[in-house]
Amino acid sequence: MIAFPTVASFETTLAALPQPDAGARDAAARRQGQLTKPPGSLGRLEDIAVFMAGWQGHERPRIARGRVVIFAGNHGVVARGVSAFPAEVTVQMVANFHAGGAAINALAAAAGLDLSVVPLDLDRPTADFTTAPAMSEAECLAALSAGAAAVGDADLLVLGEMGIGNTTPAAALAAASFGGDPADWVGPGTGVDAQGLSRKAAVVAEGLALHAEHLTSAFEILRRLGGREIAAMAGAVLAARMKGVPVVLDGFIGTAAIAPLALVNPGITAHCLAGHCSAEPGHIRLLQRLELDPILSLNMRLGEASGAAVAVQVIRAALAAHDGMATFAEAGVASA
Ligand SMILES: Cc1cc2ncn([C@H]3O[C@H](COP(=O)(O)O)[C@@H](O)[C@H]3O)c2cc1C
Ligand SMILES: O=C(O)c1cccnc1
């Protein structure tokens, strides 16, 4: 099982990322060229099928064990009035996920995905990052390892989060990784008003100022400004890469989780698909910085892996065409 017992183990893993199976990828690309359609006519669906082939290591990739994992964490910075909702909603939503009543329950079922929920010390919020590092080294490593452990035997991993207040640490991670004005990275999240929005920008600026000297490594950025569910998503993305499991990222928070990793090794996004572009204004900016092209843009702004789960239906369509279509030779259709 992949785990991150030390900071060095995290950094070594991030520095030497495995690459896709070029043989399977090239075979899938050749197959696309032989199917009964003008070359390229299935557009992005063709790219998605070839991407999946490379990472799964099969000319005809499939989704037999697609899994949504939702990591949940609580944030000390909520005390600064950065969310429209109270912190207790995090644990209440975890109960709702278990009971089957959340949006992701319905959307995961519609996409044929299993769902698991990993609550991370919900009764111990991270420290308010405007006064101290959000997590100790040990706490951040434990969260990274919890993320890695959740990958299991999935053949497609869909990452989600639940954590009231977490659009604020996500904005801080984006600003620490890519620079720019905090005001460009914060957004309404669950629906804060204009005052709340300027409070969020000020809180992010305070956090960046407090930790400025230490924001020099992916681990320190995650540890000081992130949160447990955010570090867990980063650990899951890394572990999925080690196992050759393709990942579907969800919204602003899930994308922000890998921003510090991309700063150190931009190749981290190679096994990731951006499921959608959320309505949170910083998300499009993050996707552009990471050179990720979202599959969908549906004006969703929920999190929980909801947009990523909808995108899995497009990925399934891509694989169905790739696997099910006849070649020109099989169908007796004249090729160009
Ligand atoms: C009922 C409810 C369900 C949610 N599911 C995801 N989020 C989303 O909203 C939170 C982030 O927004 P902010 O930073 O403004 O708190 C995260 O929990 C995210 O997953 C939810 C929020 C609520 C209220
Ligand atoms: O983009 C997201 O995932 C998002 C946006 C707002 C609130 N929660 C999540």
Instruction: Yes or no: say if 229 and 71 are a contact pair by the CB < 8 Å rule.
Output: yes
Cβ 83 under 6 angstroms from ligand 1? yes
The rounded Å distance from CA 43 to ligand 1 centre is: 34
pLDDT at 60: 98
Measured between alpha carbons, how far is 204 from 226 in angstroms, rounded to an integer? 11
Is 333 part of any domain? no
Is 105 part of any domain? yes
pLDDT at 261: 98
- The whole-chain average pLDDT of the chain stands at 98
| Per-residue model confidence as pLDDT tens digits over 115-130 | 999 999 999 999 999 9
Measured between alpha carbons, how far is 24 from 169 in angstroms, rounded to an integer? 39
pLDDT at 286: 98
Domain at 147, CATH number: 3.40.50.10210
pLDDT band at 14 (very low <50, low <70, confident <90, very high): very high
Tell which atom from ligand 1 comes closest to the C-alpha of 170.
Answer: 14
pLDDT at 1: 85
Is 279 part of any domain? yes
pTM (predicted TM-score) = 0.99
Please report the ipTM that was assigned to this predicted complex: 0.99
Tell which atom from ligand 1 comes closest to the C-alpha of 166.
Answer: 14
Is 335 part of any domain? no
| Per-residue model confidence as pLDDT tens digits over 152-205 | 999 999 999 999 999 999 999 999 999 999 999 999 999 999 999 999 999 999
Instruction: Yes or no: say if 72 and 162 are a contact pair by the CB < 8 Å rule.
Output: yes
> Can you tell me the mean pLDDT for 80-92?
98
Q: Which residues line ligand 2 (CB under 6 A)?
A: 167, 189-190, 250-253, 278, 280, 283, 301-303
pLDDT at 85: 98
From first CA to last CA, the distance across the chain in angstroms is 49
Q: Catalytic residue at 46?
A: no
The boundaries of the domain holding residue 241 are 63-316
The rounded Å distance from CA 62 to ligand 2 centre is: 29
Residue 283 predicted with pLDDT over 90 = yes
Is 305 part of any domain? yes
Is 14 part of any domain? no
> Can you tell me the mean pLDDT for 12-21?
98
Residue 269 predicted with pLDDT over 90 = yes
pLDDT at 336: 85
Nearest CA to ligand 2 atom 5: 301
Q: Considering the chain, what percentage of its residues have pLDDT values greater than 70? A: 100
Calculate helix-pair angle for 218-225, 137-149, nearest 10 degrees: 100
pLDDT at 307: 99
Number of Cβ atoms within 10 Å of the Cβ of 7:
17
> Can you tell me the mean pLDDT for 263-288?
98
Q: Which of 252, 258, 299 to mutate to test the pocket of ligand 2 (most atoms within 8 A of CB)?
A: 252
| Per-residue model confidence as pLDDT tens digits over 273-282 | 999 999 999 9
Is 325 part of any domain? no
> Can you tell me the mean pLDDT for 105-114?
99
Q: Which of 94, 118, 167, 190 to mutate to test the pocket of ligand 1 (most atoms within 8 A of CB)?
A: 190
pLDDT at 280: 98
Determine the residue type at 282: G
Residue 106 predicted with pLDDT over 90 = yes
Is 122 part of any domain? yes
pLDDT band at 224 (very low <50, low <70, confident <90, very high): very high
Q: What is the 3-state secondary structure (H, E, C) of the chain?
A: CCCCCCHHHHHHHHHCCCCCCHHHHHHHHHHHHHECCCCCCCCHHHHHHHHHHHHHCCCCCCCCCEEEEEEECCEHHHHHCCCCCCCCHHHHHHHHHHHCCCHHHHHHHHCCCEEEEEECCCCCCECCCCCCCCCCHHHHHHHHHHHHHCCCCCCEEEEEEECCCCHHHHHHHHHHHHCCCHHHHCCCCCCCCHHHHHHHHHHHHHHHHHHHHHCCCHHHHHHHHCCHHHHHHHHHHHHHHHHCCCEEECCHHHHHHHHHHHHHCHHHHHHEEECECCCCHHHHHHHHHCCCCCCECCCCCCCCCHHHHHHHHHHHHHHHHHHHCCEHHHHCCCCC
Give the chain's domain count.
1
